[in-house]
Structure 1
Amino acid sequence: MPASPSAVAAPPPVSAAPPDRTGGSDFAPLARRVREGGLLDRRPGYYARAIALNLVATAAVWAAIAWAGASWWAVLLGVPLAVLSARTAFLGHDAGHRQIARSAKGNRWLGLLLGNLLLGMGHGWWSDKHNRHHANPNHVGKDPDVGEGVLAWTEEQASRQRGPLRWVARHQAALFFPLLTLEGFNLKVGSALFLRGRPRRVQLLEGGLLLAHSVGYLALTFALLSPGKAVALILVHHALFGVHLGSVFAPNHKGMEMPEPGARWGHLRRQVLTSRNVRGGVVVDWLMGGLNYQIEHHLFPGIPRCSLRRVRPLVMEHCERVGLPYTETGLVESYRQALGHMREVGAELRAESARR
């Protein structure tokens, strides 16, 4: 490793379970129930199995690529490779929330190894961005996930788009999934750019691991495949990886409440009203890395993934008791609502274009 554990720069911790507030908090009774039920307890055995199985499966796919290297069929193995990369990203996400190891340092190292080394996605960059998202989900100006960029999340943002981005805003609902094919590359570029201006020890450690990933990934791919097949595999792998991750995160908040500037909501209201759950059983649980329990995850970010299903009925019951809407839909309906919001945001621009 480029540095000792003591040299690991600790990004702001991704929010753990919030404190059990007293007095007038409508969250405190729920927090007590969850804590007393042992649902916040770490599950190292579960995560040890999950990490081991994912590593073995990833190695098996690379072995299959080596075996099929003479054929263009090897490129199709970018599909399972993308799915397994998403599993690695979910595990890195859980480490960032300190769900896995008992110590902050242990979770930090897991995040660095899973994110920087295995994925080429910076743990520090992700933690900084994701921490701000959890603190103020769907809050324009505070949540980077609804900040101004290629896509617009409010009519005001759409009205400010210029040039090609204005055309994108008009058609962003239709363009959303095609644009996600670039997200796998964007995550790597964003991770590298984040290191500019960071302390030197952070640049050496995180940058060294990112470089090790890039060199190892490219060396392995071009060693096993001809140049044409190697480039094709890289494109398929990263395109589907981006689509997979985007498909998991899109239904969670898009189309949900967006607090007005200056709004001061309590923890329960802020997290529940801005989040949407996706039901679907164990298959959806696995494909979405447990993030289909988005409400529970936002209320208790430090809870192990395997406990989210058990927390759900407690949260539903509590929300009903305090009169707070709890949103849960099927997978297809969640996309319909998310894309419907994006289409609505671009409606005025489409009307403007039609009037010309």
Structure 2
Amino acid sequence: MIVVETPRGLAPRERGSDFAKLSRRIAQAGLLDKRPGYYTARIGFVGGLFAGSWALFAAVGDSWWQVLVAVLLAVAFAQVTLLAHDLAHGQISRSRRTSRMAGLLVGNLAVGLSYGWWMDKHTRHHANPNHEEHDPDVSPDFLVWSERQAEAARGIARFIGRRQAFLFFPLLTLEGINLKVSSFRALSRPSLKSRKVEGLLLTAHVLAYLGAVFLVLSPGKALVFLAVHQACYGVYLGCTFAPNHKGMPVLTAEDELDFLRRQVLTSRNVRGGRLVNTALGGLNYQIEHHLFPNMPTANLRKAQPIVREYCAEIGVDYVECGLVESWAQAMRHLHEVGRSLRVGRV
């Protein structure tokens, strides 16, 4: 049995006005206002990185130096994905139509990620972060995130769960492929909007991506390039999103929390300077992002002291640590959850 100290504020309580008070402070500080200048610069930087990586790929030609280009292109893909994340949250434009059109181009066409599928999945995550029944990010597909999931684990989840802390990063090398497979599988869902458009853009991406790689590189080098690129892309995204909630309290239907506590107590901020902020696309301010998902990334840093001070006022734990420590906490949690599977208690 894992004994975890209950964070302050986790007990059920009715305080619906707590978030309203915080929201007024944030609004008065002007932190919900759009930042067109910031996003113009960021789109220019990310677009330049993406186009420049492909230009370098063409210039290097049929060479083993392309392995390094594959790593650079993985960084570019991840940064484009983070930009699609901001579009999905309405951080860049107030127009849903504009955000959706841009998201389809950035997500489906540029990196091969279904914008509609991911937006639906991510919206459900934000509504119930780290909730066993409602958050798709902690569903026990391959990994188990709680003792209850470990008890119910069968098949591959049970097998991987025994050593999941050690397998976590190796499994991330497959995340890029997993996102593409999930994107194409989502096309069969009637609930997915604009399925034909999404399908055409996803197909165009795959054809252009594979066509460029096999046109420039010999078959052997092409396969290595694809493996390195997709592996690094998956690890980058996993290292960006894993620190945010993994190892934080996992909620169930028994936990009746208001919006503020549901978001703050299940999220973790990551300390770091400008490099960390850029690399993680602002998601290192995860608590502020979950409280105000449509807040422009550039404003999250300014919102942090307001949110942290307010949480102290109302007695709610505000968790923050370094990047390496955030990964360590997530790995320790995965290892502890898998303990019962290792000792054969379930």
**TM, length-normalised to structure 2:** 0.93
How far is 1:263 from its partner? 2.4
Q: Which residue of 2 aligns with 1:119?
A: 111
SS in 2 for 1:50: helix
1:196 pairs with one of 182, 188, 199: 188
Is residue 198 of structure 2 the alignment partner of residue 210 of structure 1?
A: no
Moved more, 280-289 or 168-177: 280-289
How far is 1:262 from its partner? 3.5
How far is 1:31 from its partner? 0.3
1:219 pairs with one of 211, 224, 233: 211
**In structure 2, C-alpha distance between the alignment counterparts of 1:141 and 1:70, rounded to whole Å:** 49
How far is 1:350 from its partner? 1.2
SS in 1 for 2:250: coil
Q: Which residue of 1 aligns with 2:318?
A: 326
Matched length: 332
Taking only the aligned residue pairs, the percentage that are identical comes to 53
**TM, length-normalised to structure 1:** 0.90
**In structure 1, C-alpha distance between the alignment counterparts of 2:26 and 2:155, rounded to whole Å:** 50
1:127-152 alpha-carbon deviations (Å, 9 max, x no partner): 11001000000111011111121101
How far is 1:163 from its partner? 3.8
Q: Which residue of 2 aligns with 1:52?
A: 44
In structure 2, stretches of 5+ residues that fail to align are 1-14
Would the aligned equivalents of 1:279 and 1:331 in 2 still touch at CA under 8 Å?
A: yes
Would the aligned equivalents of 1:66 and 1:225 in 2 still touch at CA under 8 Å?
A: no
SS in 1 for 2:194: helix
Would the aligned equivalents of 1:134 and 1:298 in 2 still touch at CA under 8 Å?
A: yes
1:315 pairs with one of 300, 307, 310: 307
1:106-130 alpha-carbon deviations (Å, 9 max, x no partner): 1111111110110100001101100
Would the aligned equivalents of 2:142 and 2:156 in 1 still touch at CA under 8 Å?
A: no
Distance 1:24 1:235, change over 3 A: closer
**In structure 1, C-alpha distance between the alignment counterparts of 2:131 and 2:256, rounded to whole Å:** 11
**In structure 1, C-alpha distance between the alignment counterparts of 2:248 and 2:295, rounded to whole Å:** 23
Would the aligned equivalents of 2:53 and 2:76 in 1 still touch at CA under 8 Å?
A: no
In structure 1, stretches of 5+ residues that fail to align are 1-22
**In structure 2, C-alpha distance between the alignment counterparts of 1:341 and 1:326, rounded to whole Å:** 18
Q: Which residue of 2 aligns with 1:15?
A: none
Q: Which residue of 2 aligns with 1:20?
A: none
Is residue 172 of structure 2 the alignment partner of residue 177 of structure 1?
A: no
2:71 pairs with one of 79, 82, 89: 79
1:282 pairs with one of 265, 274, 278: 274
1:6-65 alpha-carbon deviations (Å, 9 max, x no partner): xxxxxxxxxxxxxxxxx9511111101111211111112211221122122222222222
* Root mean square deviation, CA, Å: 1.6
How far is 1:234 from its partner? 1.2
**In structure 2, C-alpha distance between the alignment counterparts of 1:325 and 1:155, rounded to whole Å:** 23
**In structure 2, C-alpha distance between the alignment counterparts of 1:350 and 1:201, rounded to whole Å:** 43
Residues 106-255 of structure 1 aligned to structure 2 (within 5 Å)? 106-198=98-190, 202-255=194-247
